[in-house]
Chain A
């Protein structure tokens, strides 16, 4: 017999276990409806992989695990998915959560499932994958995904199987051990194999379960001896609540304490509930995912209490019916044990993977708590606390919301076992205070983290702005200096004489001023060139005549295309296009004429001296202000009119609506980009998240504004188009 250690504190409430152990394990009639919550475990809720109306088979995957700490959900019986919706789930808050609802067809048809032939030949990873895919979570009550616990980074030397079941009333594990010890041992062997056959395997069991111990001993004696398998030892220890807490059991069996904030794995220990080992056996050796569990239904409000093998998702009311539940006798229905269980809001909630007990007690059995009296600091709570805390001090600080002191008193190490509340002579609901305080501390810490992030972001933002300001100031300063230098230079140049501006001035003050000077010089050079070679000029004019002639021809042809079917009904746009075409024909003709005139003038005055009055701005225009033209004023006016017409036509084409639409299109394009950037930032948890979000929202605003403007424009589109038409008419 292994040595056992004692834990601090603990209590001995009335066990009340016999009531549910009078008969064998019972089966439950198939319920019409199964309600399977997507989150029956600690971690991320599963994602549905079926849709409403789908036919599902028993054991079929209906919701896949999402992330590492998560567990899939399987259909517990065959039938049709009738809804995927929010339903009341078993939770202390009485909240609703997404569930997959299956209407059973009564056939219990299994999906295809394969047993692993010899698990000892499989790798640990393969077995862990099987356990994970079977949706197995801790069946002791907490519901932590089992596969996660079976992949420790540390090397494991001790496997502890928790067969303590220390809560009063609950006998689900007891019954399981009595009836299925051999299967349990195989499950334990699978676990041992996964963990690389640790040095010792300990089954921790309280001394109030002699029958279960006997069954285990018998199964152990009959177990075929395997060369790999480590010896399994059943360790009995005195009954005391809460010996079944993981940390407490570790202390009882090994004498070691799990350091605060660490896991048993850090001590080389893995702890699994005995019910879980059975589920693992079913998953590995039969290929069955977790679709059922053993639940104790007990309390004096049930006429036939007992243990039931029940499908996950069975409504509580259905199971209670099997145990002869009398609603009138039961003021409060508890899921779990009397120490840590929580009161159910109604009997409509389903049985979930972690439901080890339904406790339907009468008012005499568990009377409503009397009103709390003042704390007299008797210290009985500290005597009872298995974590060796000072519950009365925690209560004091929780009342005054002194979170700093609460953390200093290690509130976080409270396992909420309820021993302090149980012994409190003033019947103060201590655990309730601790839960509330823990929640508030969690909230405060989250807020603190958020504000820290915001502060850092703000500080960086400020730093960036400062840097930008500095850069700008530096640039301004540089520009100012450059301007001054340029000015000085110009003055100097003016002094030296304006005549020799063309060739010299390699003065280098700053880059900018030199480029400015370059431009001026280039323009001057062009003017000089124009002046210098009349032959070139002639050539240019000739070229211009050619191109304008070509353009004129083309424009006339295009216009013809329009005028051909002049009688055909043209819409406004086409009309506008035609007008534009006409205008461009007119312009081309004018340009052509002009070019001819210029050439003629050049020919005429070839011998005579040419005045050098040409200004750069005249040069940029093809038409030249040669005075020799007969009707130069008239010509120019004609060009202007033609251009105005063209512009008007273009304006008619491109209404403000279109402009706005164009603007909106570009904005939308930008929005799209900003959104992808935001998504990226979100996935990377970037600190610029907020900035991106802001950009998206401001773009959205702009688009909305544009849309509004657009809407108002379309309403007044008729009058808006009128000016363009009027200008056409004035022609």
Chain B
């Protein structure tokens, strides 16, 4: 009988790439639930459309590249991209917008660079930025969070049938939209922060950082803590980003003047902060590799996020910040190798190879 001759080790840990991807999908559930409870079925529709598009595109490209379909589709990576993009898009965007963004993410941002593991940029963020630049109107139309009292009456989102009509038939959603807290805050001029908070319903009816959005962020934070607990990733990237953002907010918060840039809690619980920290920054393929590198990578994203939020043209800027740092990840890697056992100092890679 011929004996097999595999290389050591002959035993393998229980984890697989599929398992990791499944964990990420599971961790998005709290955020998805909160989004749905505030903004209706829009996000669910986004995710549904994006998922179908992503899997079809993935299958088509794999077919073109003559790769085994079952093996690659079962890694769930396309699904993760679709879900993340679906979560990031405003609810009830037209279906073709979602399809365009997802197809671009899968075909251009992922497969043209070599597929899973080889893409230098986060595919979901590429899809998002393409849409944001190409279709700014649709991309900035966020619904009014359900339950928000506008002029004394609670805002009601469109019902199920009208939601479908908006998404698939292109019915206008004008009557249901409102400025997000970040948007509102950005356009505050002349009012002290405390006054502004009192006068704007988004803030006056919220607890810490804006009605609805604070809960969305808290939900994503919970999802992130779940992933940390399952050791899907280390704390370095997300904590780096939150610390970077907090420090910027701390130094630029002047106690609430009219030209203030928002408090730490406002920035931490607004927009895509927690979603970005735990679901985008932690994408391993496009981030730095070492723990130190990932902390720096995250911190830089937090800083750039704050810079664009405060002084840029967009109310939120997660996608831009992440893509910019995707560029810088190899550079960070170069200077942040860990200190190897038995070596006195780290960061010596470049000097060593130069000496040779």
Contact = CB atoms under 8 A, between A and B. Distances in A.
Interface of A: 8, 11, 13-14, 92, 94, 168, 247, 251, 257-262, 327-328, 330-334, 336, 338-347, 359, 361, 366-371, 373-380, 382-383, 386-390, 392-393, 404-405, 407-410, 413, 416, 418, 421-427, 429, 431-432, 435
13 contacts: A14-B11, A260-B343, A261-B342, A376-B77, A377-B285, A378-B284, A379-B289, A379-B291, A388-B341, A410-B340, A410-B343, A421-B9, A425-B20
Contact of B7 (A258, A366, A427, A431): A431
Given A345-B5, A373-B116, A390 B341 contact: no
B118 A374 contact: yes
A404 B11 contact: no
Contact of B3 (A251, A332, A374): A332
Interface stretch (B165-173, B193-201, B270-278, B331-339): B331-339
Contact of A11 (B13, B338, B340, B344): B13
A334 B9 CA distance: 10
Nearest to B19: A425
Nearest to B236: A379
B342 A343 contact: no
A369 B12 contact: yes
Nearest to A336: B8
A343 B341 CA distance: 29
Nearest to A258: B342
B19 A382 contact: no
Interface of B: 1, 3-13, 15-17, 19-20, 71, 75, 77, 115-118, 232-234, 284-285, 287, 289-291, 294, 333, 337-344, 349-350, 352-353, 356
Contacts of B13: 11, 13, 422-424
Instruction: Give the most central of B7, B8, B13: most A CB within 10 Å.
Output: B8
B289 A387 contact: no
Contacts of B287: 377
Given A340-B8, A376-B285, A251 B117 contact: no
A262 B20 CA distance: 39
B9 A339 contact: yes
A342 B12 contact: no
A418 B8 contact: yes
A369 B6 contact: yes
Q: Which 8 A-B pairs have the closest CB atoms?
A: A374-B117, A418-B9, A260-B342, A332-B4, A432-B7, A338-B11, A387-B341, A410-B340
A630 to B, nearest CB: 98
Contacts of A382: 289-291, 338
Contacts of B294: 379
A369 B350 CA distance: 36
Nearest to B294: A379
B15 A390 contact: no
Nearest to B1: A327
A33 to B, nearest CB: 21
Contacts of B356: 404, 407
A213 B116 CA distance: 49
Contact of B116 (A94, A341, A376, A432): A376
Contacts of A408: 349-350, 352-353
Contacts of B117: 373-377, 426
Contacts of A387: 340-342
A413 B3 contact: no
A366 B10 contact: yes
B342 A168 contact: no
Among B232, B234, B340, B344, the one with the most A-chain Cβ atoms within 10 Å of its Cβ is B340
B286 to A, nearest CB: 9
A254 to B, nearest CB: 13
Nearest to A392: B289
Chain A CB within 10 A, most for which of B77, B284, B344, B350:
B284
A456 B229 CA distance: 60
A346 B284 contact: no
Contacts of B291: 379, 382
A259 B345 CA distance: 11
B298 to A, nearest CB: 13
B234 A379 contact: yes
Contacts of B350: 408
Contacts of A368: 4, 6
Chain A at the B interface: mostly helix, strand, loop or mixed? Answer: loop
B12 A422 contact: yes
A366 B118 CA distance: 30
A388 B11 contact: no
B10 A333 contact: no
B118 A386 contact: no
A338 B333 CA distance: 33
Given A374-B115, A421-B12, 20 more contacts: A8-B341, A257-B341, A328-B1, A336-B8, A343-B3, A343-B4, A343-B6, A343-B7, A366-B11, A368-B6, A376-B117, A378-B20, A379-B284, A379-B289, A383-B234, A388-B340, A392-B289, A407-B356, A424-B13, A426-B16
Interface centre among B5, B19, B75 (most CB of A within 10 A): B5
Contacts of A413: 340-343
A247 B11 contact: no
A257 B342 contact: yes
Contacts of A338: 8-11
Nearest to A9: B341
Contact of A332 (B6, B116, B343): B6
Given A345-B3, A368-B4, A423-B15, A259 B342 contact: yes
A331 B353 contact: no
A416 B8 CA distance: 9
A260 to B, nearest CB: 4
Contacts of A13: 11, 13
Contacts of B116: 373-374, 376
Given A257-B342, A382-B338, A422-B12, A371 B7 contact: no
A431 B12 CA distance: 13
A340 B9 contact: yes
B5 to A, nearest CB: 4
Contacts of B232: 378
B13 to A, nearest CB: 5
Given A333-B3, A376-B285, A393-B289, A431 B9 contact: yes
A334 B20 contact: no
Given A376-B117, A382-B290, A405-B353, A422 B11 contact: yes
B340 A389 contact: yes
A65 B185 CA distance: 83
Given A260-B340, A373-B116, A388-B339, A94 B5 contact: yes
A327, A361, A378, A429 interface centre (most CB from chain B within 10 Å): A378
A168 B10 CA distance: 11
Contacts of A168: 11
Contacts of A251: 341
Contacts of B290: 379, 382, 390
A334 B242 CA distance: 48
Given A247-B342, A425-B16, A427-B16, A377 B11 contact: no
A346 B3 contact: yes
Contacts of A380: 15
B10 A332 contact: yes
A168 B11 CA distance: 10
Contacts of A347: 3
Contacts of A410: 340, 343
